Amino acid sequence: MKQDKEQLINNEDFIVEALYLSNALMYTLPFVNSLQFPGSSERANKQSLLHSYISEHGTQPLGPLIIKTAMKKNNISESTSIVTYIQQTAAFISNVKSPYKMKKVLIIPNCVHKKISGDLGELIYLYYKIAAQIGFEKMSPSKEIYTFSISQNCEDNHTTVEVYIPIQI
C-alpha cells in the first residue's frame, strides 16, 4: 500500500496532502436525490449569508468559499447529498448558533488534491472521473469532496476549482 501511495504522489495528475482550515464557519443543507453541484446563484446566496453572519460577529471572511459535498445512502434506492458551505474567518467566532457551526481547526488528512477546469454543469462528472482514477491507483476515496472555487466565467459557465478528496491509505 505504501508503494501505491508513493506512485499516486508521484503521479503528475495528483498531489496527496492534508487539507488544513482554521476558523471555519460551516452551514449545512441536505438535498435528497440530488447529484448536482450547487449552482452559481445558490453559492452566491450562501456565501452572502455566511459573509453577513461573519460581519455581524465583528470579523472578516478569508479566502474562497469552500463547498463540501458528501453522499449518504439512506436505503437501496435513495441517496442524500449533504452540502456544507465553509468560509474561513480572520478570527474565531464564539457562541455560534444553529444552523451554523464553527471549528477552530479543521484537518482532513490524506487528500488527493487536483485543480480542474470545465463547464459548471460537468463538475460532477469530473469528480467521478477523479474518484475512478483514485480507485485505479488502488486507493479508497471517501464520499466527501471539498471544492474551492478559484474562478468562474459567467458568460460561458466555465469554472476552475481546486478539489480535495480524502482517501484511505
Span 133-154, pLDDT tens digits: 777 777 777 778 888 876 666 6
Total structural domains within the chain? 1
The pLDDT assigned to 24 comes to: 95
The pLDDT assigned to 121 comes to: 67
Rg (CA), the chain: 17
For 29, the domain range is 2-168
Beta-ladder partners of 108: 19
The pLDDT assigned to 120 comes to: 66
Which residue ranges of the chain lie beneath pLDDT 50?
A: 1-11, 33
List Cβ<8 Å contacts ≥24 apart for 37-45: 37/67, 37/69, 37/120, 37/121, 37/123, 37/124, 37/147, 38/67, 38/83, 39/120, 40/120, 40/152, 40/154, 40/157, 43/67, 43/85, 43/149
The CA–CA distances, whole Å, from 135 to 43, 60, 64, 74 equal 29, 39, 29, 23
Question: 27: which residues sit within 8 A by CB, 6+ positions away?
Answer: 46, 49, 50, 84, 85, 99, 100, 101
CATH number at residue 79: 3.20.80.10
The pLDDT assigned to 39 comes to: 62
